[in-house]
Structure 1
C-alpha cells in the first residue's frame, strides 16, 4: 500500500502541470525532428519512467498507462487515446490552469479510481500467483513427492 500512497502524494499532484511532466524527460531518446519529443509527450500527459531495459518508457501520470517502444513518428496524444480511451486527462477540453476547483476535484476523483484499480489488480495478481504456487506444493505433498 506504500506504493499506492506515493501515487496520492503532492509530488504526483504536481504532475497535473505540463512543466513538471516535462522535467522528467532527462535522457529521453527522441528529440527534434520526431513526433514524440519531450514537449509532445508531456502535453499528452506522459511522464518519463525509464528502466534499465526500456529507456523510452513513459506513463500517463493520470491513468497510469505505461507505453514503451516509441517510434520517432508516433504521436503521443493519439497513442495515449488509442491505448487508454477512458483517460479523463487526455479528454480534457481546457488546461488544468483553467479548471474550476469543482472540475479539478472531479478530475482528481477519477484519477484516484485509476490508482485504486491498478493497485488492486496488482494485489490480485500477486495473490493468484502465490495461490498457484501453494496449490502446487499441496498437490506435491498429497502425492508424496516432497
Structure 2
C-alpha cells in the first residue's frame, strides 16, 4: 500500500489543500483566506451555484455560506468532532503509528458518511414504495 500516492493522503499536507482553493471568493483582508482554510483542513469543493463550499478532507464536513470574518479553525471545531483539526503537532512530525491511527479515524468518517448515504437512499426508496402501495390500495377501494 503506497500512502504517498493516494489522492486523499496527499490532502494531509497543507500545500496540497491550498492548491484546491482556485476561485475561492475570499482572498485578502478576510479571516477565511485560502491559507487559513487550508490550515484548518479544508479543501475547496465548489458547485455551480455555491462557489464557497469547503469540505474537511478528513472528517468530510462540508460548510458553505462563509462570511469574510469567519474563522475556519473555529468553524471547523464548532461543526465537527474532527481528529485532524485537534492535532497537537504537524502531520510531518507524526510517527508512522500516529499517522496510521489518524488514518484509521479518517476511514471511520468515510464509512459513516457512506452508511448515512445508503440509509438515506433506502429511506427514500421506502417512502416512494409506500406511496405506490397507498395509491394502489386507494385505487382498489
Deviation at 1:25, TM superposition (A): 0.3
Report 1:1-146 matches (<5 A).
Answer: 10-84=6-80, 86-144=81-139
CA RMSD of aligned residues (A): 1.0
* Structure number with higher relative contact order (C-alpha < 8 Å, ≥ 6 residues apart): 1
Deviations 1:68-110 (A, max 9, x none): 00000000000000000x1000000000000000000000000
Q: Secondary structure at the match of 2:43?
A: strand
Within 2, Cα distance between the matches of 1:135 and 1:33?
53
Alpha-carbon offset, residue 139 of structure 1: 1.2
Q: TM-score, normalized by length of structure 2?
A: 0.94
- Identify unmatched segments of 5+ residues in structure 1: 1-8
Structure 2 unaligned segments of length 5 or more: list them. Answer: none
- For residues 116 and 75 of structure 1, the distance between their equivalents in structure 2, rounded to whole angstroms, comes to 28
For 2:111 and 2:49, the matched residues in 1 are separated by: 27
After TM superposition, which residue ranges in structure 1, 4 or more long, deviate above 2 angstroms? none
TM-score for both structures, normalised by structure 1: 0.91
